[in-house]
Amino acid sequence: MSAALIFSGLIALMLTGMPISIALGLTVLVFLFTMTAVPIDTVALKLFTGIEKFEIMAIPFFILAGNFLTHGGVARRMINFATSMVGHWHGGLGLAGVIACALFAAVSGSSPATVVAIGAVILPAMQRQGFPKQFGAGVITTSGALGILIPPSIVMVMYSVATSGMQATGPDGQIVSSASVGELFMAGVIPGLILASLLAATTWWRAYKFGYPRLARANWVQRWQAFRKAAWGLLLIVIVIGGIYSGLFTPTEAAAMSAVYAFIIAVFVYKDLKFSDLPRVLLSSANMSAMLLYIITNAVLFSFLMTHENIPQALGEWMVSSGLNWWMFLIAVNILLLAAGNFMEPSSIVLIMAPILFPVAVRLGIDPVHFGIMIVVNMEVGMCHPPVGLNLYVAAGITKMGITELTVAVMPWLMTMLAFLVAVTYIPEISLFLPRLLGM
């Protein structure tokens, strides 16, 4: 009964057009103050302590690093390097776009930032080369989604924060804790590389099928020069992933390091970012960080209400007693998350759904790390389909195409992503191989 009232209230408020973060907070406060005896000071304390977590500091730092890199010429140099390596293949510039998105994803942590940074440079070049606008838009919109799968990833931090401190009982009675940010980052490497390869294969096949243009083959001197110019940006991948794996610093410290490093190379090495541009970049980063932190604060309250009303535990008991097994549960979760992606953005979905679904997943024997990566891949798909796919709107701004036209354009790559989602869902080793290999 409680769950029906809570979710009915939340959906009703969202249907009025109210921002999700405010709808979340209002639903929780109304229910707590009218249907429970929770003291008001407990609610205030939850609001304060909800974002008092070390891991959350990674979010503004990764956003800041991504903005420095977006405005600092790093994307252009990555595109030049990727083009020198694969530009002579069928659909060379499209393939270069996929590779450049994968590389930029490994330093930014954000899908919209990846679409903006790579798309703004490579889409005009593809049109000048004779590629249809729809082909370029399909490539960049979907490849940009790699920004939340290839570490570092802001959505992975969100999942870790949403389930932080949660413990659930596994099918054997063992207590299972939530996944750390470091585990999720390592788990995202192999899935990210596989998805990038699948998107590249789709791009190559369509270019081969329709006879799209190819560039002249670059010689090794040109490739070396392109690599040398992009090396400062590529080194950030080594700093973040290498630093976390080696134990030199935590993911949050890696985020701070990446922000400082991105500032140095953008301002002093590449010199594409002027000191006069810094206030605009800092303000943009602060706006994005404030928005996400406000969503997190309200989502923490929502999670507290769920726990207080014993909803996740009751859901788990019902699923186990009704004979629902793990693979049926994963089908239901995929359908639920893909449906939620139709009207909510990824951060809100993760922060609302993860605390509810996590205990049930553990109860059914699903590894928290595998479950987290599956949720992230669902969010990738959601960013590329209407009506609220963030990547679609960002790409629409760059290409001046309508959402309907873009939806048709991304369809071949979106089908590839859905097939990959099925593989990630039912082959846990895709996500778990690297963390286990590293002893995490």
Q: Which two tokens stand for residue 290?
A: 């404030």
Instruction: Report which listed range, 199-203, 295-299, 345-349, is most confident.
Output: 199-203
Express each pLDDT in 320-344 by its tens digit.
677 778 888 899 889 888 888 776 7
Express each pLDDT in 241-268 by its tens digit.
888 778 788 888 888 888 899 899 988 9
Whole-angstrom CA distances from 249 to 69, 188, 193, 241 are 21, 18, 24, 10
Amino acid identity, residue 101?
Answer: C
117: exposed, middle or buried (C-beta count within 10 Å: 0-12, 13-18, 19+)?
buried
365 contacts: CB under 8 Å, gap ≥ 6: 170, 171, 326
Express each pLDDT in 85-102 by its tens digit.
998 898 889 999 999 999
Does the pLDDT at position 51 exceed 80?
A: no
Cα–Cα distance for residue pair 381/336, rounded to 1 Å = 13
Write down how long the chain is: 440
Taking residues 212-228, report their average pLDDT: 90
pLDDT at 47: 73
Cα–Cα distance for residue pair 93/126, rounded to 1 Å = 6
Q: What is the mean pLDDT of the chain?
A: 84
Q: Could you tell me the pLDDT band of residue 388, with boundaries at 50, 70 and 90?
A: low
pLDDT at 44: 75
- The residue assigned the tokens 């294969």 is 201
Cα–Cα distance for residue pair 407/58, rounded to 1 Å = 32
Q: What is the DSSP letter of 54?
A: G
CA 163 to chain centre: 16
**Residue of 54 and 113 predicted with greater confidence:** 113
DSSP 98-109: HHHHHHHHHHH-
> Taking the model in full, what pTM does it have?
0.86
pLDDT at 171: 66
pLDDT at 50: 67
